Amino acid sequence: MDAELTDQHQQALITRLIEQFGFLDRSGKTFDQGHFSEALRMATSIRTLVHDTRNSRSLLGQLGVKQKMSWVDSGGEPLPGETLGEIMLKMGMFITTVSVSQGTASLSIEPMSMNYILKTFTVCDFDSWWTTPVLVGRGESLSRSQLVDMLANKDGGAHVDLLKQAYIRALRTIPVFRPHMPPGEAKDFDHSEVARRAAQMAMRTMTTEVLLSIHNQANGIDPSGRLRSYTSSV
């Protein structure tokens, strides 16, 4: 904790952290019921928790713990027998399967489950977690920070449009995606169901990372124990 924080201010920040943790947890569970638009809310909560700007400080930054925490990285260590393609998909923070019925192939994109992450995850410092590319291809690289910016920025703007275009170009370098992203559709993120679904699933995986990171270090973030009692659902 920041030494300069008064007990009252610290507890007020912990209350806000508990609220944001609850928002993320509930959005994740709603997402798992098929309401994939919750990815936008999850991105907004994660930005509130960790994103610092010239004009505002993140919640975990105000608590003085963001840079001290170890952050769960779902990419983790390769599992025995994993192919390079499977490792690339893991970097993108989603898992894909292709099924064929009556000669037609369909692509399924899913987030990494809690159990899957717990088997493979590593930990890293915040800056590495936030800025290291998680999707790379065709000269493009996108980080968790950029994924959050792309989904949480409801007003859009030129930089968001550029991120969306970069995301599509990077996805199309992954062989399993290419047949499901026609060139015409691949130019417009908002009209590409495959690209939007991949980004939504990546955000669900990222939400699990954040929930686990806070849960695992709840006692260090809040020695009073209040936070720990609210993170037990993870």
Mean pLDDT of all residues in 8-22: 95
Q: What pLDDT shows up at residue 143?
A: 94
Residue 50 falls inside a structural domain: yes
Split at pLDDT 50, 70, 90, the class of 27 is very high
Q: What pLDDT shows up at residue 156?
A: 66
Residue 2 falls inside a structural domain: no
Averaged pLDDT of the chain: 87
53 alpha carbon, distance to own chain's centre: 19
Q: What is the pTM of this model?
A: 0.89
Split at pLDDT 50, 70, 90, the class of 129 is very high
Split at pLDDT 50, 70, 90, the class of 58 is very high
Residue 196 falls inside a structural domain: yes
Q: What pLDDT shows up at residue 192?
A: 85
- Per-residue pLDDT for 84 more than 60? no
Kindly state the helix (H) or strand (E) to which residue 128 belongs, with its residue range. helix 126-131
DSSP label of 92: T
Strand, helix or coil at 65?
coil
Mean pLDDT of all residues in 152-157: 74
Mean pLDDT of all residues in 2-23: 88
Residue 66 falls inside a structural domain: yes
- Per-residue pLDDT for 3 more than 60? no
- Per-residue pLDDT for 229 more than 70? yes
Split at pLDDT 50, 70, 90, the class of 202 is very high
- DSSP assignment of 5-36: --HHHHHHHHHHHHHHHHHHHHHHHHHHTT-T
**What tens digit of pLDDT does each residue of 85-122 get?**
555 555 678 988 888 777 777 889 999 999 989 988 99
- Per-residue pLDDT for 221 more than 80? yes
Q: What pLDDT shows up at residue 124?
A: 95
Specify the number of domains making up the chain: 1
Determine how β-strand 95-101 pairs with β-strand 104-110.
Answer: antiparallel
- Per-residue pLDDT for 24 more than 90? yes
The answer to whether residues 13 and 226 touch, using CB atoms and an 8 Å cutoff, is no
Q: What pLDDT shows up at residue 220?
A: 94
DSSP label of 132: S
Split at pLDDT 50, 70, 90, the class of 80 is low
- Provide the domain limits for residue 199: 7-230
User: Worst-scoring range by mean pLDDT, 10-14, 65-69, 164-168?
Assistant: 164-168
